[in-house]
Chains A and B, each alone.
Chain A
Amino acid sequence: MGEAVISLRNVSKSFGEVLANDNVSMDIYKGEILSLLGENGSGKTTLMNMLSGIYYPDHGEIKVNGNVVNIREPKDAFACGIGMVHQHFKLVDVFTAAENVVVGIKQKGHFDLREVAHGIREICDRYGFVMDPDKKVYDMSVSEKQTLEIIKVIYRGADILILDEPTAVLTPQETDRLFNVIRNMKKDGKTVVIITHKLHEVLSISDRVAILRKGAYIDAVPTKDATEESLTEMMVGEKVELNIERPEVKDKKLRLKVEHLSCYNADGVQVLDDVSFDAYGGEILGIAGVSGNGQKELLESVAGLQNTMPGAKISYYAPDDSGEHELIGLTPRKIRELGVHLSFVPEDRLGMGLVGSMGMSENMMLKDYSEGHSIFTDNRKPRELAEQILKDLKVVTPGISTPVRRLSGGNVQKVLVGREIAASPAVLMTAYAVRGLDINTSYTIYRLLNEQKSKGVAVMYVGEDLDVLMELCDRILVLCGGKVSGILDGRSARKEEIGRLMTTYGGRKEKG
C-alpha cells in the first residue's frame, strides 16, 4: 500500500457546541485515490479544510511525509503540496483562465502570462484536460470552471489533490471525463482524495474508502471488498433499505397544463424558452437538468413568483372538477385566494421557504397568517401544527420556538415539507428536496412524496441525482438551456439518454 503521505492523529474541531470532527486518526497513502465517504454533516469537508488551511484544528496533529506540520493558511498547505478544489469555486469571473491560475501567487516582478499559458497547456496535455488559457471565467461552463480549479492547484505544485464533491454539478458524461483525468493523475504519481456521498462513484473510481460518521472516523476499506450495502451500513450506522418505492399510477388526472412558457431573469437573460408540459394528479413528474437550466424559474412561474413573457398559459384544473384557473399574472396570495392548493418547497429553504430567525411555530403560519379579520396573529393553530409535525416527522429541535436556522439541514427540510404537505395540496412542487440531507431523511422525503402521489396530488420533483429520478418518478422532463429537450418514461429511461438530453438542445419528443 506504500507510505502514508498524510497522517492525521486525534484531530478534533468544533464549532460552538457542534463537534464537527471527533478525534479523527487516519492515513492517506502515496499515489492512491481515496474516497472520503460520509453523510452530509459527517465532517468530511471540515476535516479536509484543516488540511488545506481553511480551518485550524482544536486538537491533534497533522503529519505530511512523516513531519509534523502546522497548516495555518492555504499557503502553508501549498508548501506541503496539498491543494483543494472546493465545492463552491473560488475564481475571479472577469479574469482569464491563465490570470486565475496565478492570482494570489507572490512573485517579484510581473507574471509572464504566455509562460503561464504554456504551463497550463502542458498540464492539459499530460492529464487530458481541455482548457483555453485565454478564456474568461464568465464564459465558462460549470465543468470548465472545475477543470480550471484543478489546473490551478496542479500548477501550484500540488501532489495531493482534494476534490470536494466534484461530481455534484456534472452530467454523467462530464463525470466520466473527470474520472479519466483522475486516473491519469494517479498514473503520474499524484494522490487524490475525493469527498463524496455517491456510492456508485466511490466504487468506480477509488482504491480505498474512508468512512466518517457524525464527525468520527469509522474505518477505511479497500474498494474491491466493499459493496453499496456495506458502505451504507458503515455510513449510517445501521442497515438501510436502498430501494425507492414507485407505486403504480392510478386515476391519472390532468391537473396543470403549462403552455409556451418563456421568461427572462433579472439580468435580462432568457432562462425559459417556450416550455410546454402537463402535470397529472397521481403521478410524480421528475424534472432533470444541469442546475441553472431554468428549473427554478419554471417552478416559480407556476407559484406566481416570476414575471413571464406574453403568450404563456398555465392552466390549473381543480381536483373537484370545479373548473379551470389561469395562473399567469396572479400573485401567490391571489392564487391561494382562488382556492388553488399549490404547495411549493423551494430550493432556498431558509432564504425563501422559511424564516430562519423564527421558530417552527411561527413558520407554520407563513402562508396563512393573514386569514381572518383580527389584527392579531392566531398563534394557537400554528403551535398545534408545529407540535404535530415535530411528532410525525421526528424533527430534532430543542423546541418549537427555537429559530429554525439553528436546526440541521435535514430538520429544516422536514419543517418545510411538513408545512407544505399539511396544507393538503393539489399540486406539490419540490426543488432539490433531498439536497444535503442524510440517507434516512432522504428516504422519509421520498416516502412523503409517494404518499402525496397516492392521494392524487400532482407532484413535481426537480432533482439532480439521476438515479433517484429514475427510481422515483413516473415521467422525467429534461430541461436544457431553458428548453424542454425531452420527456421520458421514468420506468424505461436510460441514464445515458437523460445525460445526453441534459446537454443537447431541441430533439423534443412526444409527451408520454
Chain B
Amino acid sequence: MAKAVKKEPFIRLAKRDTMPTAKKVAVRLISILAALIVCGLLIFAITGLNPLEVYSTMISGAFGTKTRIWSTVKEMTMLACIAIGLAPAFKMRFWNIGAEGQVLIGGIVTAGCMIYLKALPPVALFAVMLVGSTLAGALWGLLPAVFKAKWNTNETLFTLMMNYVAIQLTSFFVAKWENPYGSNTVGIINQNSQEGWFPSVMGTRYFISVVLVLLLAVLMFVYLKYTKHGYEISVVGESENTARYAGISVGWVVIRTMLLSGALCGMAGFMAVAGASHTISTSTAGGRGFTAIIVAWLAKFDSATMLLISLLLAFLQSGAGEIASKCKLNSYASEMITGIILFFILGSEFFINFKLILRGKKEKEG
C-alpha cells in the first residue's frame, strides 16, 4: 500500500478544446519572437556578435536593395507555387513527397524547349514551354497515383523514389546539353538571344512569375473551397469509407488530383528554368519540393497563409545568406537559424493543442 502513496505527477498534459483565433495567432507570433531570442543568444554565445546587428544584416540582406527584394520574392514565388501544387494532394491525405522530381521534370522539358524550339515566336515558345512542363509534371505525378488507385501501393515511398529517377534523368540531360563541352553544366541557355526567357515587365523578369503564382493561389483557394472537385478531395482526405459511401470514385479522385498536383509542380520547374535561372541542373529544385511540404501543412492548405509562410522562409534564406558572408559565419550558421525558427513554429502547434498543468494545480498556458 505504501507504494501507491506517491506524489502528484510534476507535469501533466491536457488536451485543449479550441483556442480563439486571436490567441492562436498570438501564440505563433510569440513562438517566432522566442525563436529570434534563442537564435540571438546562441549567436552571441558562439560568436560574440551583437544579435541585433546580425538581424539587421538579415533584413538588409533580404530587402536591402531592389535586386535583393526581387530575389527574395523570386524565392518566395517558387516555394509558394510548389506548395500550392502540393496542397490538393496533401488535403486528400496523399503523401506526395515527389514534388522535387515533378519540378525537375518540368524543368527538363522547359530547358529542352529553350534549346530545340528557339526558332518559334516568343509567345508560341512560352505557350509550348508552359504546356509541356505542366504535362510532364502531371505525368510524373500520375504514375504513383495510378499504382495507388489500382493496387493501393504506398505513395510516400513511390513518390520519393520517383525523385531519384528524376535526378538521374536530369543528370543525363545535363550531360547531353553540356555547354561548354567538358564543363559538366548546361550553362546559361540562350545567353545572348534570350529566347524562352521570361520578358521584363515593370522592370523585372520575375514579374510574370509573381502574377502567375498569385493567380494560382486564388484559383487553388476557389478550387478547394467552392468546387465539387474540392469537396471530393476533402471527403476522400477525411475518410475513404465515407467517400465510397457517398458514391465518390476514390481511385479517380486520387488520379485526377495527382495530375493537378504534378502539373503545378511541373509549372514551378518551368518558372525556375525559364523565369529565373535559365539553366538546368540537379539542384534546380534545390530541396524546395520538401520545404514546400512544410509550407503547405503549416498553412493548413490555405492559399494566403501559404504565401505568407513562403515569404518568411524566403526571407530567412536570403537573410541567412547575407549574414553568412557579412558576419563571416558560414552557411551552416544561417541554416541553424532557419532550423531554430521552424522548430519553434512547429512547436507552437503543441501549445495550441495541449496545455501543461504543473504540480499544485497551477495551469500554465502555452
Contact = CB atoms under 8 A, between A and B. Distances in A.
B116 interface: no
Contacts of A352: 239, 241-242, 245
Nearest to A78: B4
Contacts, number: 107
Among A77, A333, A344: residue with most chain B CB under 10 A = A333
B1 A303 contact: no
B247 A367 contact: yes
A512 B244 CA distance: 34
B67 interface: no
A71 B228 contact: no
Contacts of A344: 245
Contacts of A366: 235, 242, 245-246
A76 B8 CA distance: 12
B356 to A, nearest CB: 13
A436 interface: no
A70 B5 contact: yes
A377 B225 CA distance: 9
The binding surface of chain B is classed by DSSP as mixed
B227 A376 contact: yes
Interface string B1-38: 10111111100101111100000000000000000000
Contact of B247 (A80, A333, A346): A333
Nearest to B239: A351
A79 B245 CA distance: 48
A330 to B, nearest CB: 10
Contacts of B234: 355, 357-358
B237 to A, nearest CB: 9
Given A67-B5, A79-B1, A375 B242 contact: no
Interface string B221-262: 000001111110011001101101111110000000000000
Among B5, B15, B16, B361: residue with most chain A CB under 10 A = B5
A92 interface: no
Contacts of B229: 375
B6 A346 contact: no
Interface string B302-323: 0000000000000000000000
Interface string A63-79: 01101111110001101
Given A17-B17, A352-B241, A375-B228, A79 B246 contact: no
Contact of A76 (B6, B248, B357): B6
A365 to B, nearest CB: 8
Among B226, B238, B247, B361: residue with most chain A CB under 10 A = B247
Among B4, B16, B229, B238: residue with most chain A CB under 10 A = B4
Given A72-B9, A76-B4, A369-B228, A348 B241 contact: yes
A68 B242 contact: no
A230 interface: no
Contact of A346 (B7, B14, B15, B245): B245
28 contacts: A64-B1, A65-B1, A67-B1, A68-B5, A69-B4, A70-B8, A71-B4, A72-B6, A79-B4, A331-B247, A332-B245, A332-B246, A336-B247, A344-B245, A351-B239, A352-B245, A353-B242, A355-B234, A355-B235, A365-B231, A366-B235, A366-B246, A367-B247, A369-B246, A375-B228, A375-B229, A376-B227, A377-B231
List 7 A-B pairs, minimum CB-CB distance, nearest first. A16-B17, A333-B247, A332-B247, A17-B17, A79-B4, A352-B241, A69-B4
